[in-house]
Amino acid sequence: MRTQVVIIGAGPAGLLLGRLLDNQGIDTIILERRSQDYVLGRIRAGVLEQGTVELLDKAGAGERMRAKGLVHDGVEFCFDGDRHRFNFRELIGRTVMVYGQTEVTHDLMNARDASGAKTIYEAEGVSLHGFDSDSPKVRFGKGGVEHEIACDFIAGCDGYHGVSRASVPQDALRTYERVYPFGWLGILVDKPPVSDELIYAHHQRGFALCSMRSPTRSRYYVQVPADEKVEAWSDARFWDELRRRVDSETAEKLIIGPSIEKSIAPLRSFVAEPLRFGRLFLAGDAAHIVPPTGAKGLNLAASDVDCLAEAMTEFYRERSSVGIDHYSARVLSRVWKAERFSWWMTSILHTFPETDTFGRRIQRAEFDYLVGSEAAARSLAENYTGLPF
């Protein structure tokens, strides 16, 4: 087999890259370890920056999102029961779209199927070869048969635990990491959300988030210790804890019901540098992880692959390697700003085991500053709705 670009991973990064390249007439094969149903069954975040929305439109995969997604003008922060709304539209004229990652994945898969581009699911033992030369190869197994694909480029879009980053020689890679001492326990419930917009809550007992997937489906989270077991959390315990962490008006308005999904996600900040090794490029979670507090994971994956698709297009159209030579530095400068924002939101909204009374006062001062200063609120709005691609 031969193709121009082998994409490893059919998450949002791989599928969107495939779509953007397909639109430019560049041939791709996506290799995905899991089945299509498994990929579609993963529940993940659901806030799209304005730039991501525009990119999905540009990719020709935005129709269902425009019909079903919810445009949000702002978010609310609640600090020890004091609630404040940040109106992004008024502050900076930008908004976000609430539309689940599962839906984005679904739309991109359908667009790819319609275009006839090839995706191989349940590809086993994917391995990368010769990406330090001009003729890289990718090998994999499928149904007991070994295959090899020759290509011009490999795009590692295979997430944090993927094979791509692991294939790079250790001494060629630098990594930066912070692991937080807590996770998010999340539930999905088929009941209307408590509020029209997201509520991010700080409380002495820990962080909480009221989010949604649609007007009839809600997503809620509470901060729990990193080693917590999901079995320890009945629905009743979850609702009790959530009510205690939000303001009393929100607590009273909560419409509860049986959870249809319940899981714990750890929080981590991680960046690998650089993101290019000869003919191999890393994008999305394979390259970096953010804690979910700023809702940046999916959006960063989108801005990475926008840049990568542009660089590869330039390579084929203009026989120029300027774009691919600058890919790593260009992407990393935006990545680090999103890392900073996600870390900052995580720091002010969570309780940390080591935080003393001084630290709590500083967190409160951050909240009061955001509420009282338009400059501070605009900075929040600019970062939350997304820095320029």
- Pair 15, 305: CB distance under 8 Å: no
Q: Is the dihedral of CA 296, 299, 303, 305 positive or negative?
A: positive
Q: What is the DSSP string of 127-182?
A: EEE-TTSSS-EEEEEETTEEEEEE-SEEEE---TT-HHHHTS-GGG-EEEEEEEEE
Closer CB to ligand APR, 33 or 245, in the complex: 33
For ligand APR, which residue of 43, 59, 298, 349 counts as binding (CB under 6 A)? 298
DSSP state of 232: G
Window 311-350: residues binding ligand APR (CB under 6 A): none
What whole-number distance in Å separates Cα of residue 380 and Cα of residue 385?
A: 8
Q: Which of 250, 293, 303, 385 binds ligand PHB (CB under 6 A)?
A: 293
The one catalytic residue in 291, 296, 327, 350 is: 296
d(CA 294, CA 341): 7
- The nearer residue to ligand APR, 126 or 187, going by C-beta atoms, is 126
User: Would you count residue 282 as binding ligand APR (CB under 6 A)?
Assistant: no
For residue 307, the partner it binds in ligand APR, ligand PHB, none, with Cβ less than 5 to 8 A by kind, is none
Which window, 12-20, 44-52, 113-121, 273-281, contacts ligand PHB (CB under 6 A)?
A: 44-52
| Residue 156 interaction partner, one of ligand APR, ligand PHB, none, beta carbon < 5-8 Å per kind | none
CB 131 within 8 A of CB 279: yes
Catalytic, 12? Answer no
Q: Single out the residue of 3, 28, 211, 299 in contact with ligand PHB (rule: CB under 6 A).
A: 211
Long-range Cβ contacts of 138-145 (<8 Å, 24+ apart): 138/6, 138/8, 138/31, 140/31
- Residue 72 falls in the annotated catalytic set: yes
Site for ligand APR contains 59 (CB under 6 A): no
Instruction: State how far Cα 133 lies from the chain centre.
Output: 31
- Residue 162 touches which member of ligand APR, ligand PHB, none, C-beta under 5-8 Å by kind: ligand APR
**Contact residues for ligand PHB, defined by CB under 6 A:** 45-47, 198, 211, 219, 292-293, 295
